[in-house]
Structures are given as C-alpha cells and as structure tokens.
Structure 1
Amino acid sequence: MNFPFYIARRYLFSKKSTHAINIISCISAVGVAVATMALVVTLSVFNGFHDLVASFFTSFDPQIELVPAEGKTASADDPLLQKVRKLPEVDVASECVKDQALAIYKGKQTMVWVMGVDDNFERMSRIDDILYGDGTFLLQAANLNFAVVGIRLAETLGMNANWDGNLMIYAPRKTGQLDLANPSDGFVVDSLISPGVVFMVKQGKYDRDHVIVPITMARTLFEQQGMLSSLQIRLKNGSDLNAVKEKMQNIVGDRYRVLDRYEQQADTFRIMKVEKFIAYIFLTFILIVASFNIIGSISMLIIDKKDDVVTLRNLGATDRQISRIFLFEGRLISFFGALAGILIGLLLCWLQQQFGIVALGQSSGTFVVDAYPVSVHPEDVLVVFATVIAVGFLAVWYPVRYFSRRLLG
C-alpha cells in the first residue's frame, strides 16, 4: 500500500487534538461540494435551454439547407443542385426564396421576412405540428395566394388565425429607375389572404416577422424568376446526416454552403455556448475561493501532527514522503467534496426534471415551459470532476511545500 496515502487517509478520518481542525476540514469539504454542485446544476440548466431551443427549431428548419456561398440567390436549375436532389439519401427537396418586405394590414405596418416555399415544403418540414387555427396549411388555390404568418406577427398587425381582408406586401423594385413623381411605382405589390391558421415556433426569430407564401408569388415580388435563396432537404429515415452532408459538400464544392440545423442557427447556439462557458469560468473562481479553506485545514493539521512527523522520521520516512502525506490529505478533501457535490447536483437535477421544483414564473403558461429545463450531459460531469480535482490539487501543492519546510524543517 502507498505509505503516504495510507497515513493521509488515517489523518482525514481520525480525531485531531484540536477539535477546530475537524470542523475546518468539514467546512473545506462542504465548500468544495457546494461549488461542485453549483457547477453541475448550472451547466445542466444551460444544456436544458440548449436542447429546448433545438427542439423548437426542428419543427421549422430543414435537416440540411444549401445556400449560395456568395450572393443571396442562385439558379434553381443549377446542375450541382440537381445532382444533390438525385442523391439516394434525399427524401424531399424544397426550393425557397426569402427576402425582406413591408407588410401592411388595415393601416398597421411592419417589416417582415417573406419566405416563399414550393409544394414540397409541407412534406419537407413538420409545419403541421406548429399550426394553430381552424384552417389547413394552404398557400395557393387557382389564382389566389395565401399567407401563413407567425403568431407574434399576427398580434402586431391585429390579426387572428382566420383574419379577413388582404395582407399587402411591398418590395422595392430591383430594376428600372424610380419615378419621383410617382414613388409607388418603385414597389412591387401583392396581396395575400388567410388560410385560417398561423404558426408558432415559440421562437421570436420566426414568430414575430416571418410570412410563408407561395414561391411563385415570392419570385414575382422580389423579381427572382428561376432563382432560389436556398434548397432545403429532408433525408430518408436511417440516413447518416454527417456522411450525407459531407457528400453534398463534395458535390457543390465552394459554390454552396451545406448547413445542418445547428449551423443554420449558428449565432443562437454560439451565444448559448459563450454564456455557458462564462458561467463555468465564474463558478470555477468560486471553487478556487472555496479551496482556500483546504489550505487553512492542512496548515493546522501540519502543526497538530508535528510530534507524529518526528516519529515517522525516526521510523525512516523521508521528508518527501511526509510532504506527500499532507498533499494526499488535501487531495482527499477535494476528492470527497467533488464526489459529494456531483451526487447532490445530479440529485437536484433529477428532482427538477421530475417535479419542476424551480419554476420560471409564478403562473403556468407565462413561459414556453413552466420550470427551468435541465439536461445532464455526461461530458459536463466529467469536466466538472476534472476541474474540481485539478483546482484542489493545485491549491494544496504550494502551501504544503511551504509549510512543510517552515514548520517541519
């Protein structure tokens, strides 16, 4: 058995001559445990929000989206895109034309994103899962154009799910010269009616300013005949997303970017990762402060065990072995504090998942979810454990060497 570790373990659990040393050791372990628990719970809450946001996007965003690497649009009959469509893993391919325009409804106006989609969009997406109202997803019938608007946009313009009248869309002309005598000629104008439904992604990015319209109407509105802003793909069940994505990128080269759902919302998820990292850094600083208690505990233990040190030297123990005894003592405090903190943190996360103990608001329905979402990722638990152990080990290394030389020399 490792001699320094054996003695350190005996010292950790044995009764000291000064009762305050036992108390300080317990306080040290509790401090490390609380900081560890805070790390586990906080990172799990960030994971919960990350997974929650990702679940909302999957109802609206395609599995894979191809967008031009340069410019806003590309030719819809580009041979590279046609080759992508014919891949055996592709189940549905849907063209999309998207740009900004001005929407006016009964005197109220706002800037919107007009998203023109083709007939495959309903098969490509899960749009039916996020529709609200008495109608159905319908964009075109005979010479009539319909619009499905986001629920918050409907509130802004004073609409309901089955709004009456016409929604007017204005887009600036891209060709010709503006006649200052008649400024209205500088816009392409079209009107839309309601199919009796609105969509709710539960994300302001879409709900507050997106309008889904027929792609033929969008191409006319933005003067983009034969063009597309993106090609949206749904894969067949069982397809390897990463492998197919790589295959598509090899086909299109640097002409197009091939984006999965997370890359389509890169800004959102990047911000969430940064916030999670900052929280991790701040809580690690708190852990470092809590680890200073270990220094006090070890220094008092060294003083308390001076007589034992003399005995150990007489028995043949070297100064290095004696120093390692107190190093192991501090590291054991860190280890047990980390272990206790992780177990308590996991227990709290489980209780939150099962019972929603900590609510987001005082009344249900105020937020998308009633309680803070929690998702425990094993890699985060390992990172927390490694961080606590590393901080604890580093915290005791220099003080033990210093006090050993000053007090035991």
Structure 2
Amino acid sequence: MNFLFAWRYFKSKKSTNAINVIAWVSVSAVIVGTASLIVVLSVFNGFEDLVKSLYATFYTDIKVVPSTGKVMRLSADQLKAIGQVNGVAAYSLVAEEKALLQNGEAQTIVYLKGVDKDYGNVSTLPEKVKVGKYEIGDEEKPFAILGVGIENALGVWSDRDILPLTVYLPKKEASLNITDPMQSLSAANLYTSGAFAIQQDFDNKYVITNLAFLKRMMQMGPDEYSGLEISLKKVSEESRIQDDLQNILGKNYTIQTRYQQNQGLYSIMQLEKWVIYGVLCLILVVAAFTMIGSLTMLVLEKQKDIQVLKAMGATNGRVQSIFISEGFLLAAIGAVTGTILALLICWAQVTFKLVMLEGGSFVIDYYPVKFLFSDFLLVFCTVLIVAFLAAWFPARKAALEPVELRSGN
C-alpha cells in the first residue's frame, strides 16, 4: 500500500510545476550515477580480466618454491607423490637466475629461466612466441626464447641462428675478484630460437632456456631446482590441493597459488576499483540532495493528505513509510533506466569498439568490457541506501506533522 500511495503521488499533477521538475532532475541524477558506475566498473573489470590473463600466461596455477634460500631439493619419490595428488594436471621443474646476456657490444641484465620439456603443459608461453619457434634445445646446445624487449635491447634477430649470444652467470660460492670481476662469472654460448610477447614486465625481463643447461651453469645437483610449477584440472580446487601439497612436502617448501604469486598486483587492482567506486558515488550524493529537495516540496504539497491520513488512523510510521517509499520509487526508476542505458553503452562498445585506446602499444586497441553480477548488486544496494538516507529526513518531517482538528460553528 505504501508504494501505491507513492506511485499516485509521483504521477499526480502538482500545484507547483517545480516539484515535478526537481523530481525528474533527481531521477536523472540517479540514471547518470547508476550508468556511470556500471560502465566504469565493467570497463575496469575488462582491464582486470585482461591483465590477469596476461599474467596467467607466465604464472601457473600453483608454484612450489623454497621457504628459505634460492634452491630446493625434490626427490623422485616426492615428484611421484605430487603427480598423484588429485586435481594436479601436470608439473614442470624450473631453475631461475639473474644473468648478463651479451651480443657483441650490446648487453643487458635478464632473468634466465630454465624449463624442462613439460613446461608447455603448465604454461601457455609457447603459444605467445611471435617470432621463430618454441625450442629450448638440450644441455649441449641450448636455445633461448627471448622476450621481445630483450630482443630489441640486444639488437638480434632471434629467429635466425647465426651467431650465439654469450651468457654470464655468477659462479656458485665464488668470491669476487676485484682486479678481474669476470673471474667470478661462468660464461657459455646461447643460441636463439624465437621471441615471445606477453606483457612488458615479462618481455623486458625474461629469457627461457633449457633446464639441464642452466643447472649446469648454476652448478646445481641432480635433485636441486629453483621451483616447481603446477597446472590444475580445476582452479577452484586450488586451496585443497595447496594443503595436500604442503602436507606432502613439509614446512621447508612454500606453496603459492596464482593470487599469492601476484598478491601485490591483485591487491592494487582491488584498491583501484574501490577508489573508482567511491569517486563515482559522488554523483549519487548529488542525486541525494536533489531527492531531498523534491521530497521536501512534496511533503509541503501533501500536507492536507497527511492530515486526512492521520485523521483516518494512520500512524506516524505509516506516513513516514509512504514518503520513504516515494524516495525508493524515484531511485528505482533511475536505477533501472541507468542499468539499461549502461547495458546499451557497453554493448555498443563491445560490438562497434566506439572508444579506442591511444598509443597502439597495448595488446588490444579498444577499452574492454566485462559484466559482473556482483557489480550490479553493489550499485543497486548503493542506490537504495542513498535513496533511504535522502528520503528519511523529509519522511520524518511528514510523520511529525501535527493533526489540526477544526470544530464546526
């Protein structure tokens, strides 16, 4: 019944036209606020999903690293037990070390990552090779796949096996020779087979090569590795599998999910999303002020109706509920219309790519969009809270209107 009164008040003709104008201004503000929140949050979700997919190329579902130091031991029995864990699809042994890569006079510092033949089963990096082919060679003749940024820094054609690069790594337990620092480094030739392009952080940093070659350069033992990268059959089971692996390996090993490997990145993205949400909520604050003005004028307009309702036995709570329902009605009209408008805008962006990214250096050339039900729920809840707060003060004023009884002559 409250909404019935609210609807009749909304569509009824007012004695002052300004009341109708202010009411529609408040609805328009809610429309703009709702549409802005949904569109911007959806675009942010699109970028977040894109960035996560790029990082997922390099970071596997689960990674095992030593709790202390840079090297860990994994026996054949431990690897067998890991492979038998329910939910584990595949695993790959890796070694990683910072190195100096040189091509004639050009040189750059890189992270040299040695991987085994199963690496393609846990990572999609082989699919990101843009030049040449994915080939890591063997211990005797190792090949390297360079990030495109490193390829440019060294000035090489990575798909042309002409002259090898020279790679320098620190010797194990070697002391620094001040007169000749190169004596503290081990050197080897490294042929190139291709270049990958994922994302700038990886393209300018990593070189992929053969695990056996890198272990020999790092003087690692047969059972020594830098890490173990694992792909899962179902990512949703990562918590259980993480616990199972921890029970198998013990406290000397750290088991990291993809989120934990990039916790800083994911935390920043979530923080940015909440900051954007807070800023855009200011539009709804403007809508709240216009709604307060609209409902206050409506209360003044309907003073006689309030008197009649109270004379018929309506309580203060009933009168207050009617005008709060009026606020909810204004908000609901604005929220539904704003949602439809946001859906149309996002559909047009996905279909026609109306807004393009400038620069042309990103992996896509237009703003991505992704809808999340949680965002729609968040926006609707926000609109309803703002509507309640805006309607409460005029509704309270209406409820406290005194009943004036007139006696006949």
Normalized against structure 2, the TM-score is what? 0.90
Deviations 1:324-372 (A, max 9, x none): 222211121112212221221122222222221111137xx54311210
SS at match of 2:57: coil
Matching residue of 1:231: 228
> Pairwise mapping of residues 249-268 of structure 1 onto structure 2 (< 5 A)?
249-268=246-265
List runs of 5+ in structure 2 lacking aligned partners: 405-409
Match of 1:369 in 2: 364
Q: Distance in 1 between matches of 2:3 and 2:88?
A: 60
For residues 296 and 109 of structure 2, the distance between their equivalents in structure 1, rounded to whole angstroms, comes to 67
Distance 1:261 1:146 in 2: 28
Aligned residues with identical type, % of pairs: 34
List aligned pairs for 1:10-409, cutoff 5 A. Answer: 10-77=8-75, 80-87=78-85, 89-133=87-131, 135-141=132-138, 143-163=140-160, 164-195=162-193, 197-201=194-198, 203-226=199-222, 227-235=224-232, 240-361=237-358, 365-402=360-397, 405=400
Change (3 A) 1:228 1:408: farther
Counterparts of 2:258 and 2:107, CA distance in 1: 31
Equivalent-residue separation in structure 1 for 2:293 and 2:233 (angstroms): 62
TM-score after normalising by structure 1:
0.90
Distance 1:328 1:281 in 2: 26
Measure, in 2, the Cα distance between the counterparts of 1:86 and 1:310: 77
Unaligned runs of 5+ in 1: none
- Given the superposition, is the C-alpha separation of residues 106 and 23 from structure 1 closer, same or farther in structure 2, using an over 3 Å criterion? same
Q: Distance in 2 between matches of 1:51 and 1:408?
A: 59
Aligned residues, how many?
A: 402
Structure 2 counterpart of 1:130, which letter?
K
Is the Cα–Cα contact under 8 Å of residues 159 and 192 in structure 2 kept in the other structure? Answer: yes
Shift of 1:285: 2.8
Residue 272 of structure 1 deviates from its aligned partner by 1.2
Aligned equivalents of 2:403 and 2:153: distance in 1? Answer: 76
Comparing 390-399 with 41-50, which one deviates more in the overlay? 390-399
What CA distance in whole angstroms lies between the structure 2 residues aligned with 1:237 and 1:176?
44
Equivalent AA in structure 2 for residue 126 of structure 1: T
Inter-partner Cα distance in structure 2 for 1:177 and 1:11:
86
Q: Deviation of residue 211 (structure 1)?
A: 0.4
> 1:225, CA displacement in angstroms?
3.0
2:381 match: secondary structure: helix
What amino acid maps onto 2:368 in structure 1?
Answer: P
User: Separation in 2 of the partners of 1:357 and 1:238?
Assistant: 34
- Tell me the secondary structure at the aligned position of residue 182 of structure 2: helix
Aligned to 2:407: none
Q: CA separation in 2, counterparts of 1:376 and 1:343?
A: 13
The secondary structure found in structure 2 opposite 1:140 is coil
Task: Check whether the contact 1:330–1:392 (CA below 8 A) recurs between aligned residues.
Answer: yes
The residue type paired with residue 8 of structure 2 is R
**Paired AA for residue 167 in structure 2:** I
Superimposed CA distance per residue, residues 284-343 of structure 1 (whole angstroms, 9 cap, x where no aligned partner): 233123211100001111111122222223333233322222221112111221222122
- 8 Å Cα contact 2:85-2:244 kept in structure 1: no
Cα deviations by residue, 1:123-179 (Å, 9 ceiling, x for unpaired): 33223311122x432222572121111011111221233254222222223413323
Secondary structure in structure 1 of the residue aligned to 2:127: helix
Higher alpha-carbon deviation: 86-95 or 264-273: 86-95
Query: Is the partner of 2:192 in helix, strand or coil?
Result: coil
- For the residues of structure 2 that align with 1:371 and 1:9, how far apart are their CA atoms? 43
Whether contact under 8 Å (2:172, 2:218) holds in the other structure is: yes
Q: What one-letter code is carried by the residue in structure 2 that aligns with 1:322?
A: V
Distance in 1 (CA, whole Å) between partners of 2:171 and 2:398 is: 79
Compute the displacement of 1:36 (Å).
Answer: 0.9
Q: Deviations over 1:77-99 (max 9, x none)?
A: 27544421333543432111112
**Cα 1:156–1:41, aligned 2, differ >3 Å: closer, same or farther?**
same
Of 82-91 and 68-77, more deviation after overlay is shown by 82-91
Contact 2:133 2:159 (C-alpha < 8 Å) held by counterparts: no
- Give the conservation status (yes or no) of the 8 Å contact 2:29–2:287: yes
